[in-house]
């Protein structure tokens, strides 16, 4: 047995060298962190759920012709992905006011926005991921204007898809964060959706009760994080309705 080469370890995931050049293995951990790692907890089974939910979303995006880094899920905690050059931006798309937008602009949480709003944050833990504009991004060379057009059009397409997907299972997509990467293929380079899309990176509210089914349960000490992620997976048809996650993680359908 050889030890795999670890390329990168983040807050909730580890990237390992993949089986072929140009591929990586993305491993989902059970760590929940918030407020730039000031708050940290292990939630048994969270990585398994995020791996499965993110797989479901990314395979649908691929099938719709929205390019992503995702190739296939390998096991309960890992997926095979294409190696991309990550653009150091968090792209946030909002449909309903919540979180930092509500705080910054004094708009009540839950207020529907007149139209979807795209925001950019510079990925830098030391600076606490500051919000930046397209001007900063192109001036500092994090992405060029053509790439920004591609990123915004991807963000809108992903938002439309996710809104519809969640609407169909009684969930309101309040906002979400996505990341993009440059995929190099021969002498071509294109922008693809990367990282993960899961209840860790979305705000998901039950359509009728407004119950939070996302990481705000952890950020705001509400408890029931795993149960909420499980409910999202169950509604998407990824878990049997009567399954409960205990220490060892859920048993998955398929």
**Please, which residue, 172 or 177, has the CB nearer to ligand UDP?**
177
Q: How far is the CB of 219 from ligand UDP (least distance, A)?
A: 7
Reading the block at residue 251, the tokens are 């048993």
Q: How far is the CB of 253 from ligand UDP (least distance, A)?
A: 26
**Please, which residue, 55 or 175, has the CB nearer to ligand UDP?**
175
**Helix (H/G/I), strand (E/B), else coil: 60:** helix
Residues 185-204 that bind ligand UDP (CB under 6 A): 201-203
Residues 112-171 that bind ligand UDP (CB under 6 A): 129
43 and 144 Cβ atoms separated by less than 8 Å = no
Q: How far is the CB of 215 from ligand UDP (least distance, A)?
A: 5
Residues 90-119 that bind ligand UDP (CB under 6 A): 90, 92, 98-101
For the beta carbon of residue 65, count every other beta carbon within 10 angstroms: 7
Using rule CB under 6 A, residue 88 touches ligand UDP: no
Residues 204-243 that bind ligand UDP (CB under 6 A): 215
Would you tell me which residues interact with ligand UDP (CB under 6 A)? 90, 92, 98-101, 129, 175-177, 201-203, 215
């Amino acid at each position: 047995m050889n030890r795999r080469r670890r390329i990168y370890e983040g807050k909730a995931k580890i990237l390992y060298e993949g089986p072929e050049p140009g591929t990586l293995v993305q491993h989902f951990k059970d760590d929940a962190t918030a407020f730039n790692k000031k708050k940290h907890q292990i939630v048994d089974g969270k990585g398994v759920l995020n791996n499965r939910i993110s797989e479901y979303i990314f395979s649908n995006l691929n099938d719709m012709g929205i390019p992503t880094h995702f190739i296939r899920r390998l096991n309960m905690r890992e997926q095979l992905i294409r190696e991309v050059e990550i653009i150091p931006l968090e792209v946030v798309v909002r449909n309903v006011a919540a979180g930092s937008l509500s705080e910054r602009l004094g708009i009540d949480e839950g207020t529907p926005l007149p139209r979807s709003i795209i925001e950019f944050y510079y990925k830098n833990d030391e600076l606490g991921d500051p919000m930046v504009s397209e001007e900063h991004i192109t001036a500092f060379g994090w992405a060029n204007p053509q790439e920004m057009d591609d990123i915004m059009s991807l963000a809108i397409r992903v938002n439309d898809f996710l809104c519809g997907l969640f609407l169909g299972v009684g969930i309101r997509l309040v906002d979400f964060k996505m990341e993009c990467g440059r995929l190099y293929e021969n002498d071509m380079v294109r922008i693809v959706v990367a990282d993960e899309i899961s209840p860790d990176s979305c705000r998901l509210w039950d359509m009728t009760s407004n119950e939070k089914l996302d990481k705000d349960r952890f950020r705001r000490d509400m408890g029931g994080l795993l149960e909420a992620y499980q409910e999202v997976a169950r509604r998407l048809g990824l878990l049997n309705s009567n399954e409960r996650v205990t220490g060892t993680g859920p048993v998955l359908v398929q």
